[in-house]
Structure 1
Amino acid sequence: MQGHRFRRPTTAWLLGASLLPLTAAAQSPDGDAATLDTVTVTGQAATKTETPALETPQSVSNVGREEMDERGVRTLREATQYTPGVYTNQVGASNRYDYLVMRGFSDGSLSNTYLDGLKVMGDANGYSSMVIDPYFLENVEIVKGPASVLYGRSSPGGLVALTSKKPLFEDHRELRFSIGDNAQRSAGFDVSGPLDDERRVAYRLVGQASRADTQFGPIEEKRYAIAPSITWDATDDTSLTLMAYLQKDPEGGYHSGVPYEGSAVSHNGRKIDNTFFDGEDDYDTFERYQRMVGYDLEHRFNDSLTARQKLRYLNADVELNQVYQYGWIGESNELRRYYSGGRESLQAWTVDNQLEADFHGGGIEHTVLAGLDYQHRKNDVVWTSGSFPSIDPFAPHHGAEPIGEIGVTNDERHALTQTGVYLQDQMAIDRWRLTLGGRYDWVDIENTDHLTGNDSTLDDTQFSGRAGVLYLFDNGVAPYLSYNTAFTPTSFVDADGDLLEPMEGEQWETGMKYQPPGTRDRYSIALFRIDQENVATKEQPTDPYRSVGEIESRGVELQARTHVTDNFRLQAGYSYTDISYARSDVPGEQGNQAIYAPRHQASVWGNYRFDQGALDGLDAGLGVRYYADIQADRANTEQVPDYTLVDATLGYDLSQVGLQGVKARLNVGNLLDEEYIASCNSLEYCYFGAERNVRATLSYRF
């Protein structure tokens, strides 16, 4: 229907053009050359407005649906593993959580993910951290550096903004099936279209079921997920989208490690196999049920003023049982073992109210955003623990029972409430782009210990700010300078049971972006320095949390996405991250490099599409990832050996042989089957990397 001001998503826009800005000629249905409108990659998560990434004074990366399909990603970690400054191998082959280490900071890995503009609420001080399957996503935007001015509590390393698949106002139907090694199999569907003749209402229904063995003994991964949504254009100026996401993980895979000695180096002349399972099948369970419902309401008062409200309710139940090793018993070949259990029930509300005004005055074009948001989360947890007989990893025998009783160690409620008001002004003065923003938050945290009857509370207020300046040259070069702050309150308590003070961070970043006019190419370089105080950490998994003082992270990131030819696309990235304990109350730790952070990280991915002769319809891709200088412990006594991984893909459009809408793809991760240690939490706990995995996918669009 003509006259609608809302840009309705179409299949072409959502499924293809979201990857890169397109200004090249394309073939029209009748075979003639047709010019496509430019589709600009935005830095929407960094600004909460439709701001081109080229004009955003902060480092921003995007991974679109087409790229995710091409690389066959199964997790958010795989989606971002070719992004410089993002380390995705914190826990190796485990797929239970989406651990993302950004610019060296791992404290936000479990709580710094946003879906459709709202935080995916979880409890970093527990097992209740949510995971969104990438099949349900249209785009992944990675914002480097602090973003508290718009989002409140967040990691200084950055955030990851996920955009879900939304209803389309044209028919779209897809079936997808995959099989692979380790008994991988999955089936998915994605259907969408209008519900009325006037195209005022559209729906979308996405679903997937998957199952796989893992490289660790009897452990499995299972998932069932479905996401219904409906969009109603009530008027030409008012739109409402209702969304739900329901996910059940009956089996959550493996999440354990082995000692440094015996994995990275030999123990008594031997090494542990990278398929070793240190647990017990009868005492190893991870079940997660997560349910999210919400809406996105937008009303345009006129061409200059728009109001939005986003709301989501989340409920999750998690059950954990795990027997895990924890270091060698003397010089023997026996590993001591313990048991941990958890039962958690989480409920959360998030709402964000926005008012955006665009106006011109005094030679300045303003985009002003004012907002009020609210977050509330409570998580009821019961944790248990016990002892188990030791195990010989070189000749493991399973079937052991616990030693003594398994007892309750914690029965608590973790509650957090955050209310924030924010104001941002993006100004365009000729070629200059200026951004100023400020936010004030009220944060209440309460831990209730049902075993002791004690409460730990923290009432805090926090101001966050940002300032950025960028100059946009006619030739596509855009140098910039920015300053951003972050704060991260948690429900972590110290040895005395007191809540830790919120972590606070600030970042200076300067860099340059470049997009040659009329091309799809993008290049960027960013130099940054981040300082964080009141850092919460613990030496061993069983230790209480503590504040180590201050962490400094500084480094450089380079990224390039270029079309070498019309058929050959190449992306490359490099990051140097020097993150260390600038101040620490732990003897000998000050000045040491932090764990989980490769000092050097480089990647390259290339894809070539054939369009002539017998190979027409075929595409082939190859990627290489390199990681170096990862510390194995906080004392910096050992390093994880450097490693290089190779990934590959091969795809074919079967419409070339008469099967319209059918495509086949083969993806291979860790092509050379490199055996490696991905990272270490300590010398007692290192994580094996994923072995070679092969997966074939057949999709049908009709």
Structure 2
Amino acid sequence: MHVACLGWLAWAAVLPAAQAQGQRVERQVASYDIPAGPLADALNRFAQQAQVAIVMDAASLKGLQSPGLKGSYTVEEGFSGLLKGSGHAAARTPAGYVLRPQAAPAAGGDAPLPEVRVTADAQSEISGGGYVARRAVTATKTDTPLLEVPQSVSVITAQEVEDKGATTLTDILAQTPGVTVNPYGFDSRAPDWVALRGFDSWYTGSYRDGLIQTVGVTFLGVQTELYGLERIEVLRGPSSVMFGKGDAGGVVNRVSKLPSADAPREINVQLGSFDRRQVAADVGGKLDEDGKLLWRVVGLDLDTGTQERYPNGERMTRKRQYFAPSLRWQISPRTSLVLQAESLRDDASDDVQFITGANGLPTSVKEGDPSYSRIKTDTDAFGYQLEHRFDGGWTLRQKARYAYRSMDKHHIQSSLDTDGVTLLRQARHDRETVNDLAVDTSLAGEVGLGPSRHRLLFGVDYNHSRASWWRNTGAAPSLDMNNPVYGVLIPEPQTPAGNIRLTTTQLGVYAQDQMAFGEAWRLTLGGRYDKVKSDNDDRLNVTRSTQQDEAFSGRIGINYLLGGGWSPYISHSESFLPNVGADVAGRAFTPSRARQDEVGIKYMPADGSVSFSAALFDLIKTAVVSYDPDTFEARQIGRVRSRGLELEAKAALTRRLRMIASFTALDIKVQDSADPSEIGKTPMLTPQRSAALWFDYAADAWLPGLSLGGGARHVGKNWDDAANTGSQPSYTLVDAAIRYETGPWKFALNASNLFDRRYYAGHGYGSWYRGAERSVLLTARYGF
């Protein structure tokens, strides 16, 4: 909590002096050499070199070119030169610049300024030094300012990812309020293991471009290549009104890089700790003279070791190849089509935990073998985003994606013999596949009814997935804990031990009305009806069960726009989550339900330099399946309550200094369960406090192009068991960065856990989970 408070105090102390300093910077003359090219790209380069913030709608600048800038200019002279002939001008505000279209003279007087809007598939309006997003589409599936969304939403921009040197989705989400990542510590496989407000989002909270990504039956989850994303949007709290079946915590929506006239073009190379080697490229452009066809290709090749070694010194490794081409076709002024594809190949060592000794303490022994323990995951996805604008302002949108994911996993399961030194082992070979089709079609438009305005949304979405899992088992040589020998032959397992196919079909119909009453009041109403069919086919034991569930979910929220960028709100939202299976009496499980009440306030002034939000929530999940500890019978009587406070701030404090801060206080308790020992307790491996603080300073007063960054992450204690009899202490990690930009080149040196603090992220289920050690990353980028 102290870390977060320091951020608020620093913000309040620095801002007044910053405004005076910014005025001096704007009057200074500096030399610039910015090549001609896309206008948005030129403006971004100039703003970075001049150390000023600028708010602009990138979508409105598509196709516009800048003549470039070479010579010595003040800030205002530089903007004027770059914008010459574009029909736009940069207006100065107390905290930066805002790009506005210029009025064009017309017969009979001056023409009014055209309205600037961002379409639903466009990038969020980004300002505040590249950290502050002013709009997002995940919460409402419409183009809505975040100030008017009556629910907690965080947006992580590509600039934030780059500045912090994050390499995985969990790296960057760990610094977001209400989010817990990697409960089982460092994982060489880099899965997207995320919990929101204390609820696991592994199975139902993973989305890509607004469409669900279905996971497998056991180990086949979602892996995200962070370099392929434009931004990440985190919607916290029950969200079934927009997304159908899902757990109580919310969703994480990954937004892909797509073609645009101002998309950056770059090649970068990374070298880092544990023999990390990576090369990546993000390129694109126009296929025709008038820019109706735009293309983009994102690619990456990674070969790295990890922090973990076997006792014989052999390091665990991971390899990844990523390829994502896309094409945007502006069929007509009213119709656009985006075609997308993605291919991911991931090959990693698969020994996650170190063995716990007979004394209950962790050892340096791995239960598997470097020649056997391996997990290979493949993903191939194809999809499109279609948009057509009708007369009268109505817009039809359809998104669709088919994905095929597969996993081949060789691993070892072990148990300690009674002698306390012999590890008895079993070899396992798991194979898993998922075929996943998701389609979302919506119609949106605005109507006026008397003094009120209504933004209406009607939609239907469909998801069909088929997950299959096979397991074979076999004998494996035992391992002497005092003298472990690796590299021995482990025969391929031949005995069938599992064969399950789970088929799920969901069809949902939803409607939403975002009402505006005058300039201040906003009322959001939404409702949805879903039907879900689940078919569980156990082909090994020749049993089959089918469930059909239906549910209605709603949301209501009120915002009041106070003026000056402040907006308090209150909301109620709901979700449902189907449960496959039956209790001891043979009754099929019904869906778990969740409901949340949330109050909060958001602050985002018009200049876009600051974003602040605070939220208090009370979230209850009912009809949770729990198990009797003596008979192992399943009973659907569980109830979990999660309450908490979340704070988040992102700001350009001065022309040179930017800040990101977050704080979470979580009070989550099991209120009812078939296991009496956990009633009234906090779920294990769930920290109740977390905070993060990051400052980024442009140090060009010492050396033009130099920037420095640094911050801290704090994670509170978490419990080792359901009865809360033991816990792991809190820990705080420090991160740092130094960057240098000259011409088309950018160099960055990032260090996470700078002081190499050794800690355990958790202890549970008989294992100790080590935290991430210090990691240093050197990146060189060339833009063209």
- TM-score, structure 2 as length reference: 0.81
**Aligned 8 A contact 1:476 1:517 in 2:** yes
Alpha carbons of structure 1 residues 71 and 471: separation in structure 2 relative to 1, 3 Å: same
What amino acid does structure 2 have at the position aligned with 1:90?
A: P
In the alignment, which of 150, 166, 174 is matched to residue 73 of structure 1?
Answer: 166
Unaligned runs of 5+ in 2: 1-37, 57-74, 84-88, 92-97, 101-124, 126-132, 310-314
**Which has the larger displacement, 34-43 or 279-288?**
34-43
SS in 1 for 2:734: strand
In the alignment, which of 415, 430, 434 is matched to residue 503 of structure 2?
Answer: 415
**Aligned 8 A contact 1:171 1:194 in 2:** no
Instruction: Quote the residue 2:24 is aligned against.
Output: none
TM superposition shift of 1:667: 1.1
In the alignment, which of 90, 111, 115 is matched to residue 183 of structure 2?
Answer: 90
**Aligned 8 A contact 1:371 1:422 in 2:** yes
**Aligned 8 A contact 2:268 2:281 in 1:** yes
In the alignment, which of 671, 679, 689 is matched to residue 762 of structure 2?
Answer: 679
The answer to whether residue 99 in structure 2 is matched with residue 37 in structure 1 is yes
Q: Within 5 A, what are the aligned runs for 1:485-564?
A: 485-491=574-580, 500-536=589-625, 547=636, 549-564=638-653
Alpha carbons of structure 1 residues 688 and 110: separation in structure 2 relative to 1, 3 Å: farther
In the alignment, which of 311, 323, 334 is matched to residue 226 of structure 1?
Answer: 323
What amino acid does structure 2 have at the position aligned with 1:93?
A: F
**Aligned 8 A contact 2:640 2:670 in 1:** yes
In the alignment, which of 329, 340, 344 is matched to residue 243 of structure 1?
Answer: 340
Instruction: Quote the residue 2:781 is aligned against.
Output: 699
SS in 1 for 2:643: strand
**Aligned 8 A contact 1:557 1:574 in 2:** yes
The structure with the largest helix share of the pair is 2
Aligned length: 674
Instruction: Quote the residue 1:429 is aligned against.
Output: 517
Unaligned runs of 5+ in 1: 1-7
Q: Within 5 A, what are the aligned runs for 1:380-399?
A: 380-386=468-474, 388-391=476-479, 395-399=483-487
Q: Deviations over 1:213-271 (max 9, x none)?
A: 1122242111101001000111000000000011111x134452246x66xxxx64965
The answer to whether residue 712 in structure 2 is matched with residue 620 in structure 1 is no
Q: Deviations over 1:489-511 (max 9, x none)?
A: 25467789986432221111111
What CA distance in whole angstroms lies between the structure 1 residues aligned with 2:417 and 2:451? 73
Alpha carbons of structure 1 residues 10 and 404: separation in structure 2 relative to 1, 3 Å: closer
TM superposition shift of 1:539: 9.9
Instruction: Quote the residue 2:436 is aligned against.
Output: 348
**Aligned 8 A contact 2:626 2:673 in 1:** no
Instruction: Quote the residue 1:144 is aligned against.
Output: 236
The answer to whether residue 396 in structure 2 is matched with residue 314 in structure 1 is no
TM superposition shift of 1:679: 2.4
Q: Deviations over 1:329-363 (max 9, x none)?
A: 45834555444321112111000010001121121
Identical-pair percentage: 34
Alpha carbons of structure 1 residues 294 and 545: separation in structure 2 relative to 1, 3 Å: farther
SS in 1 for 2:758: coil
Q: Within 5 A, what are the aligned runs for 1:262-301?
A: 268=359, 271-273=362-364, 276-301=365-390
Alpha carbons of structure 1 residues 461 and 338: separation in structure 2 relative to 1, 3 Å: same
Instruction: Quote the residue 2:570 is aligned against.
Output: 481
TM superposition shift of 1:588: 1.5
SS in 2 for 1:581: strand
What CA distance in whole angstroms lies between the structure 2 residues aligned with 1:537 and 1:387? 33
The answer to whether residue 700 in structure 2 is matched with residue 611 in structure 1 is yes
SS in 2 for 1:283: coil
Instruction: Quote the residue 2:737 is aligned against.
Output: 649
Instruction: Quote the residue 1:153 is aligned against.
Output: 245
**Aligned 8 A contact 1:423 1:437 in 2:** yes
What CA distance in whole angstroms lies between the structure 2 residues aligned with 1:496 and 1:399? 49
Instruction: Quote the residue 1:450 is aligned against.
Output: 539
**Which has the larger displacement, 62-71 or 589-598?**
589-598
TM superposition shift of 1:395: 4.6
Alpha carbons of structure 1 residues 448 and 21: separation in structure 2 relative to 1, 3 Å: farther
What CA distance in whole angstroms lies between the structure 1 residues aligned with 2:270 and 2:748? 9
Q: Deviations over 1:249-297 (max 9, x none)?
A: 1x134452246x66xxxx6496524xx5331123211011110000000
Instruction: Quote the residue 1:5 is aligned against.
Output: none
**Which has the larger displacement, 80-89 or 35-44?**
35-44
**Aligned 8 A contact 1:89 1:689 in 2:** no
Instruction: Quote the residue 2:111 is aligned against.
Output: none
The answer to whether residue 196 in structure 2 is matched with residue 102 in structure 1 is yes
TM superposition shift of 1:323: 1.3
What amino acid does structure 2 have at the position aligned with 1:177?
A: V
- TM-score, structure 1 as length reference: 0.90
What CA distance in whole angstroms lies between the structure 1 residues aligned with 2:539 and 2:409? 20
SS in 2 for 1:182: helix
Instruction: Quote the residue 2:21 is aligned against.
Output: none
Instruction: Quote the residue 1:3 is aligned against.
Output: none
What CA distance in whole angstroms lies between the structure 2 residues aligned with 1:404 and 1:160? 38
SS in 2 for 1:585: coil
What CA distance in whole angstroms lies between the structure 1 residues aligned with 2:246 and 2:293? 36
What amino acid does structure 2 have at the position aligned with 1:183?
A: D
Instruction: Quote the residue 1:572 is aligned against.
Output: 661
What CA distance in whole angstroms lies between the structure 2 residues aligned with 1:158 and 1:565? 34
**Aligned 8 A contact 1:574 1:602 in 2:** yes
In the alignment, which of 666, 669, 680 is matched to residue 752 of structure 2?
Answer: 669
SS in 2 for 1:61: strand
What amino acid does structure 2 have at the position aligned with 1:589?
A: E
Instruction: Quote the residue 1:256 is aligned against.
Output: 352
The answer to whether residue 109 in structure 2 is matched with residue 58 in structure 1 is no
TM superposition shift of 1:477: 1.5
What CA distance in whole angstroms lies between the structure 1 residues aligned with 2:263 and 2:136? 29
**Aligned 8 A contact 2:422 2:481 in 1:** yes
Instruction: Quote the residue 1:189 is aligned against.
Output: 281
CA RMSD of aligned residues (A): 2.9
Rg larger for? 2
